[in-house]
Structure 1
Amino acid sequence: MIPIYKPYMPDNLLPDIEKILYSGNLAYGKYGKLFEQALADYTGNLNILTVSSYNHAMQIVLSTLGLQQGDEIIASPVSCLASNQPFVVKNLKIVWADVNPETGSMCPEDVKKRITSKTKAIFHNHFCGYLGQIDEIRKIGIEHNLIVVDDCIEAFGSEFNGKKMGSNESDIAVFSFQTVRLPNTIDGAAISFKNQNLYEKAKMIRDYGIDRSKFRDVNGEISAECDIEVEGYGALMSEINSLIGIKQMNDIDDLLKKQRQNAIVWNERIAESKQIVPLNLNKETNPNFWVYGVLCEDKKLALEEFRKKGWYATGVHINNNIYSVFKNSEKLIGVSKFMNQFLALPCGWWVQ
């Protein structure tokens, strides 16, 4: 059966990995900086940090924004569980926004209705690599003086108005480089920032709150003159993970091109079907086609039929408002309709 996911790994990695293993330099360093530069070149944004995991990346964003227990954030329940669990760790109040059932993306009109004086940020998930109504959500953020975080957990390489996600048009964008993403660093993530001060703050939070330019004195000893002013995490990416990321960035354009070509083939395959239609695209967006999304009149039947034909069809995620940990089980009409119809089909670089 053709799988829905498959980890990508470039050839001829082992000689370089072996050099790192015996170099004595295993932590973030030369390759970490080169990987960040490759990401900056790709997104067009110099303010980008690599991080050891997506969960760490989200926690760093929450700390950088100074979010505290009881603060409200607006998020979508139509997302990966990994996107929303960090809010629980910080004891934030999660306010779910409904989605457009034809796209699965956050509904701007519903977001507006949910903003209160306690709202501190909007987390705009781009489900399965399909981008949401970016202009509309950003305008809401500007109108209410709220940071909009583009949650691109599955959307690296997706484009809006011809620009890659993570460009300096996003307040903040978060990417996952976990095994089934592109690029895949086995585990890892990245965060991009529009605001230079937030970027500099996040850089310290990523590294236990340390300002490395002041941390040690002329003798290499830890300096008492260097205060630690912010909370922090040990979230630097290792040199091996960074090396793998660099190698994958060399191939990223070809891999995404293949996925977009596969999507065109899927368009042709289902063109005659009345029961299955492609997921609607929001205007001016170009997905990375991590998966190929469809809406089905009978999701269970369609899943069974695709699997019989050798395609591992799946719903991918389940709506997070069903989980008690979030303390918000509000039923949302758009969410329910979308989840009852959405199905993902294999569209990755491995599909012939």
Structure 2
Amino acid sequence: MIPIFKPYMPQEIMPKIEEILYSGNLAFGKFGRLFEQDLSTYIGNEKIITVNSYNSAMLVVLSVLGLKPGDEIIASPVSCLASNQPFAVKNLKIVWADVNPLTGSLCPEDVRKRITPKTKAIFHNHFCGFVGEIDEINAIAKEYGLFVIDDCIEAFGSEYKNLQMGNLSSDVSVFSFQTVRLPNTIEGAAISFRDQEMFDRAKKIRDYGIDRAKFRGTLGEISPDCDIEVEGYGALMSEINSYIGTEQMKHLTFLLDKQRGNARIWDAKIKEIEDIVPINLNPETIPNYWVYGILCKDKNKTLENFRKEGWYATGVHINNNIYSVFENKESLKGVDQFISMYLALPCGWWVNNKN
């Protein structure tokens, strides 16, 4: 059966990995900086840092924004559990907003209705790489003085109005480089910022709050004059993961082009199947086609039919408002409708799709 996900790994990387392993330089260093530069060049934004996991990235972001226990954050329950768990860790109050049942993306009108004096941020998930209503959500946030975090956990390489995700008007964008993403660093993530002060603050927070330029004196000893002013995490990406990331970036355009080519073939195939339509796309977006999303009248029957044909169809995620950890099990009409119809089909670089 053709899998829905498959980790990509470039060939001929082992000699350099072995060299790094025995170099004595395993922590964030040369390859960490090179990977960040590669990401910055690709996205078109210099204010990018890497971290060792998506979870670390989210915690760094919430610390950078200064969100405190009890603050409200508006989010979509139609997303990966990894996206929303950090809010529970930080004791933030999650206010679920409904989604457009034809796209799975946040509904701007419903987001507006959820705003209260305690609202601090909107967490805008771009479900399975399909970009949501960027301008509308960002305009609402600007009107109310709120932060916008673009959740690009599955959307690296997706585009909006010919710009890469991470180079838009949103305050922050968060990417995952976990094994089944592109690029894949085995484990890792990146954060892009619009604001220079946030960017500078994030570099400290990912490294225990340390300003490395001042941390040690001329003899290499820790300087008592270097104050630690902010909370921090041990979130730096290792040299091994960073090196893998630099090698992955060399292949990224080819891999994304392959996925988008597979999507065009799926477009033609789906037209021939009754009671199935592609997920409704904003014409100003280009998904990365991490998966190919469809909406179907009978989800279970459609899933079984595709699997019989050798395609591992799946719903990928389940709506997070069913989980007690978030202390908010509000039922949302658009969410229920979308989850009842949505399926993902394999569309990745490994798929040899044919007309």
Q: Is the 1:133–1:283 Cα contact (8 Å) retained in structure 2? A: no
> Counterpart in 1 of 2:214?
214
Q: Is the 1:7–1:179 Cα contact (8 Å) retained in structure 2? A: yes
C-alpha separation in 2, matches of 1:183 and 1:115: 35
Task: Please state if 1:327 is matched with 2:336.
Answer: no
Unaligned runs of 5+ in 1: none
> Counterpart in 2 of 1:62?
62
C-alpha separation in 1, matches of 2:288 and 2:133: 16
| Letter matched to residue 200 of structure 2 | E
C-alpha separation in 1, matches of 2:301 and 2:283: 30
C-alpha separation in 1, matches of 2:270 and 2:188: 35
Q: Is the 1:168–1:193 Cα contact (8 Å) retained in structure 2? A: no
> Counterpart in 2 of 1:102?
102
C-alpha separation in 1, matches of 2:311 and 2:65: 42
C-alpha separation in 2, matches of 1:228 and 1:348: 44
Cα deviation for residue 273 of structure 1 reads 2.2
| Letter matched to residue 186 of structure 1 | I
**CA-to-aligned-CA distance 1:21-60 (integer Å, 9 cap, x gap):** 0110000000000000000000000000000000000000
C-alpha separation in 2, matches of 1:304 and 1:202: 46
| Letter matched to residue 273 of structure 2 | S
Q: Is the 1:153–1:175 Cα contact (8 Å) retained in structure 2? A: yes
> Counterpart in 2 of 1:252?
252
Cα deviation for residue 113 of structure 1 reads 0.3
C-alpha separation in 2, matches of 1:288 and 1:163: 13
**CA-to-aligned-CA distance 1:134-184 (integer Å, 9 cap, x gap):** 110010111111110000000000000001101153310000000000000
Q: Is the 2:138–2:169 Cα contact (8 Å) retained in structure 1? A: no
What is the SS of the residue equivalent to 2:122? strand
What is the SS of the residue equivalent to 1:303? helix
| Letter matched to residue 154 of structure 2 | E
| Letter matched to residue 12 of structure 2 | N
What is the SS of the residue equivalent to 1:151? strand
C-alpha separation in 2, matches of 1:142 and 1:203: 25
C-alpha separation in 2, matches of 1:170 and 1:148: 5
> Counterpart in 1 of 2:125?
125
C-alpha separation in 1, matches of 2:226 and 2:272: 67
Residues 98-247 of structure 1 aligned to structure 2 (within 5 Å): 98-247=98-247
| Letter matched to residue 225 of structure 2 | E
C-alpha separation in 1, matches of 2:252 and 2:170: 21
**CA-to-aligned-CA distance 1:69-110 (integer Å, 9 cap, x gap):** 000000000000000000000000000000000000000000
Task: Provide runs of 4+ in structure 1 moved above 2 Å.
Answer: none
C-alpha separation in 2, matches of 1:270 and 1:192: 36
Cα deviation for residue 218 of structure 1 reads 1.1
Please identify, of 221-230 and 163-172, the stretch whose mean Cα deviation from structure 2 is larger: 163-172
Cα deviation for residue 296 of structure 1 reads 0.3
C-alpha separation in 2, matches of 1:240 and 1:24: 12
TM-score (norm: length of structure 1)? 0.99
C-alpha separation in 2, matches of 1:231 and 1:22: 32
What is the SS of the residue equivalent to 2:210? coil
C-alpha separation in 1, matches of 2:328 and 2:96: 8
Cα deviation for residue 270 of structure 1 reads 1.0
C-alpha separation in 2, matches of 1:213 and 1:144: 37
Q: Is the 1:44–1:168 Cα contact (8 Å) retained in structure 2? A: no
C-alpha separation in 2, matches of 1:113 and 1:105: 16
What is the SS of the residue equivalent to 1:45? coil
> Counterpart in 1 of 2:20?
20
> Counterpart in 2 of 1:298?
298
> Counterpart in 2 of 1:87?
87
C-alpha separation in 1, matches of 2:168 and 2:274: 41
> RMSD of aligned C-alpha atoms?
0.6
C-alpha separation in 1, matches of 2:230 and 2:168: 25
**CA-to-aligned-CA distance 1:278-335 (integer Å, 9 cap, x gap):** 0001241110000000000000000000000000000000000000000000000000
**CA-to-aligned-CA distance 1:222-257 (integer Å, 9 cap, x gap):** 010011010000000000000000000000000000
C-alpha separation in 2, matches of 1:69 and 1:95: 14
**CA-to-aligned-CA distance 1:197-243 (integer Å, 9 cap, x gap):** 00000100000000111101111110100110100000000000000
Cα deviation for residue 272 of structure 1 reads 2.0
C-alpha separation in 1, matches of 2:217 and 2:129: 46
